[in-house]
Amino acid sequence: MTRDYLTYCASVKPNRNLPATHEAILIRHMVRLFKLYDTFLLLVAADRSEVAYIFCRLIIEVGIHLEFLMKKGDAKVFKEYQHASLAHDKKYLERMIQHHDRDARLGNLGPLKKEISLAFERAGFQIPEIADKPEWGGSFRDTFKKAQAVGAELEYNSVFRYSSHAVHGTWSDIEHFHIFHRGDTYLPKTSFKPVGPELLPGMAQYCQTVAMEYVVFMWVSNKNPLMEPLGGLGNWFHRALEAYEEWKLLAKKKAIN
């Protein structure tokens, strides 16, 4: 159900008067949020918790960035965002020029070079304008500062930080998901760990919250027909999470007794 509503939210025609580029960046973030959540659902359904956690971090990061752009974004911030995005293309383009459009592993890079050049043209920037390592967000340079700016410290400090282990393959992630500890040795664990019951409602509720903020912002109103069912869905997930916490507490008490 959350997936369907995210599709509807991503398809909302904005009423807010925004520059075309700003509107495109915001729409892109909402569509990306939907696609990440959609893939996350496939992983949950397949009990692939190790990989699902990677998508948890991606979802939280996109949500924080979308909230930041809506609440703190001005012309300077949106321009910085474009510069930061194009910096990666600039570096790749310089590498292709250095290797004369060919790479021993990738072959002819001419078509890709042309596509990157067109991306700069469509964005309205010249390659020399883009710094090698630009940052965006004004004084809120990293994702944590952006999370603080939009009141998403809880999501950052819980889901984003924890799921970062899965993204980077830290020792904690390896030991928990990918190996067995047998005496003084370690054995590979190629099976997947089942998804816990709290993961889906928590991520669904977060996406629902961001989607509501997006609809209100793009419509400049909370009167969009999507708002009532989205609000009801959020309340349902809140009750589901509360019930799960009560069940855990009861199970713990029974185990003690």
- pLDDT single digits (tens) 200-216: 888 988 998 999 999 99
Q: Rg of the chain's alpha carbons, rounded to an integer?
A: 22
Looking at residue 54, what is its pLDDT? Answer: 96
Measured CA to CA in angstroms, residue 33 lies from 46, 59, 229 at distances of 20, 6, 19
In the chain, which residue ranges form alpha helices assigned H by DSSP? Answer: 2-10, 20-45, 49-72, 75-98, 110-123, 143-149, 153-155, 161-168, 171-173, 199-219, 227-256
pTM of the shown model: 0.84
- Answer whether residue 163 shows pLDDT above 90: yes
Mean of all residue pLDDT scores within the chain: 86
- Answer whether residue 238 shows pLDDT above 80: no
| pLDDT tens per residue, range 31-63 | 999 999 999 999 999 999 999 999 999 999 999
Strands 185-188 and 107-108: unpaired
